[in-house]
Amino acid sequence: MRIVKAFDGFMTSIVNSFTTRAMQKLLEHLTSPEQKSIAISVISCITVPLTKSLSGHHVIQHCLKFFSNEDNKYILNAVADNCLDIATDKSGCCVIQQCVAHAQGEPWDRLVQEITVNALVLSVHPYGYEFYPHRLKN
């Protein structure tokens, strides 16, 4: 129950660097499938704001590092669903690179498909352009 309350409070303060650092530490210590499921459920709902936050994007990167491919697919799907919005953001373009680097299988295919669909826009956008050459390195 404490984990649920921690994640509920996190949703309201995602741009706070202390909160996101505490969240990263919490993610490192989740052990049960239920704890990880709750964390992924909450994070996947706030993936876009996290990717655009200078502090929050570290939470996404932490998930990619500490969770399985199966767990991360929900976050990666949220990133794919909002690919253009995220890839054209200063922090988001870095997150997209990390997602492509860590994704495997269907989530990777979805990300690459969305990047390809948006290739023209990404190729002329200042942040999208920085990201675009890295998209297919897997």
pLDDT digits (tens, 9 = 90+) for 45-75: 889 999 998 888 889 999 999 899 999 999 9
CA dist 107 → 2, 70, 71, 72, 96 (Å)? 31, 9, 11, 9, 12
Express each pLDDT in 86-132 by its tens digit: 999 999 998 999 999 999 999 999 999 999 899 889 888 888 776 65
Check residue 68 and report its DSSP letter.
-
CB neighbours (10 Å) of residue 115?
22
Which residues have a Cβ under 8 Å from the Cβ of 79 and sit 6 or more positions away?
Answer: 47, 51, 60, 86, 95, 96, 99, 111
Structure tokens at 80: 């794919």
pTM for this entry: 0.83
